[in-house]
Structure formats: structure tokens, C-alpha cells
Chains A and B, each alone.
Chain A
Amino acid sequence: DVKVTQSSRYLVKRTGEKVFLECVQDMDHENMFWYRQDPGLGLRLIYFSYDVKMKEKGDIPEGYSVSREKKERFSLILESASTNQTSMYLCASLRPGSSYEQYFGPGTRLTVT
């Protein structure tokens, strides 16, 4: 089974802090994605990566950056956390060519106070 893990289930940070959310997948997938999930808005794509050191902006990249130094790990970085970044963050991975099915991690619920 594909396994996507996220470093924390719950995280509380203060405004202005730098925040790192880590995601690891064990199936050698090329593509990885970061979403945020807010009630009534579904999942919105923040950034994605289609290869090591490659990244592309999604629909809402402002206030975020990403890092992909190794194929299995995709990090989301909040340079200076703000209260409007309080949300559920979901990581996903996919092997292109198989299907469009993305495999999701359990999510990290981030609260910025």
C-alpha cells in the first residue's frame, strides 16, 4: 500500500513564526502536492512538485514556499505564519502515467495564534 505520512497531526504556532510541514511518501512517486482544506472551500492547491528540486505554484501560493531535495520528501514552509493560515494541510503523491489518483496523507491541522 502507498503510504503518505505527515510529520505532525496537530501544530500550534504563533504569528510571525517560520513553520515547516513535512511530507514523506514511500512509493517512489514523482509528483507531490500540498493542499489546504477549509470548510466550504474544498481542497485548494498551494504548490506541487513533479521532480526533485522542481516546483510549480498552485492556486494559492502566496505566503508559502516549498522544498523538494529528495524524491520521497516534500516540505511546505510558511515563512512568517499568519492567523489566516490556520487550516488543515494535506499532502498527496502520484505516479504520473498510472492514473490521476492522488494518495493523501492524514493531514496536519495548523493553528496560528
Chain B
Amino acid sequence: GESVGLHLPTLSVQEGDNSIINCAYSNSASDYFIWYKQESGKGPQFIIDIRSNMDKRQGQRVTVLLNKTVKHLSLQIAATQPGDSAVYFCAETRGGYNKLIFGAGTRLAVHP
């Protein structure tokens, strides 16, 4: 069935390094993808989005790459900081009413 999943449940990086969080999706009809960040004790917060007609989109210190051929999405964080420590979710659109399907999440741990 349709699903959004993640390759790595936990990612540990050194402060200052670049982080890459991966996500696989199975619905080739999805036309919109979002990355959310969830800090401890808070609700998910929007980071960046990308439409299916794009391969890459950049924000502040973050870049999302979309490879439709292999149905793969990644979030790159440059110069990772302790404040980036959180759980990251990818999500894809499905059906009407702006519904989203979320992946299981990846925990990013940033070490000094």
C-alpha cells in the first residue's frame, strides 16, 4: 500500500558537520512533499517543502532533494548545530483536503 518511510531511525552527527536525512516514498502520484522538525515537547514545525516538478529546493542551511526515479527524498542540513537536534519527519500529499501521510521519523542527535 501507500507508505512513506525512513532509512535510518537515528542519526548521530558532530556539531559543524553536514547531516543527511533520507526518506523513501511509494506513491508515485504524490505531487508535494514536506519536511517537519519536532523538538522535544513540541508539535511538528514546517522546515521546507518541494513540489514534484522540482529536483531541489534550498532554504536557510537546509536543502531538500527529490529523486522521482527511485522515489527518494532527502533533507540536507549544513553545519549542523545543537539546536538541530530533533525528530525529522517527511510527509507526502495524498488524496484531497490537503491530507498528508507522514513517515516514521528520524531522530537527529548533534554532539559537541
**Is B98 touching A31 in the complex (CB atoms < 8 A)?**
yes
Q: How far is the CB of B26 from chain A (nearest CB, A)?
A: 14
Q: How far is the CB of B42 from chain A (nearest CB, A)?
A: 6
- Proximity bits, B28-54, A CB within 8 Å = 1, else 0: 000010101000011111100100000
Complex interface: stretch among A14-22, A39-47, A64-72, A77-85:
A39-47
Q: Which residues of A contact B103 (CB under 8 A)?
A: 42
- Chain B count of residues within 8 A CB distance of the other chain: 23
**Is A106 touching B97 in the complex (CB atoms < 8 A)?**
no
Q: How many A-B residue pairs have CB under 8 A?
A: 57
- Proximity bits, B48-85, A CB within 8 Å = 1, else 0: 01000000000000000000000000000000000000
**From B104, which residue of chain A is reached at the shortest CB distance?**
A42
Label chain A's interface by main secondary structure.
strand
A24 contacts the other chain (CB 8 A):
no
Assembly CA distance A106 to B39 (angstroms): 10
12 A-B residue contacts at CB 8 Å?
Answer: A42-B4, A42-B104, A43-B102, A45-B99, A48-B97, A101-B49, A102-B100, A103-B46, A104-B45, A105-B43, A106-B43, A107-B42
Show the binding face of A for B, using Cβ within 8 Å: 4, 31, 33, 35, 40-45, 48, 50, 56, 58, 90, 92, 94, 96, 99-107
- If A42-B105, A104-B36 are given as contacts, then 5 extra A-B residue pairs at C-beta distance below 8 Å, sorted by A number, are A43-B89, A48-B99, A100-B34, A101-B34, A107-B43
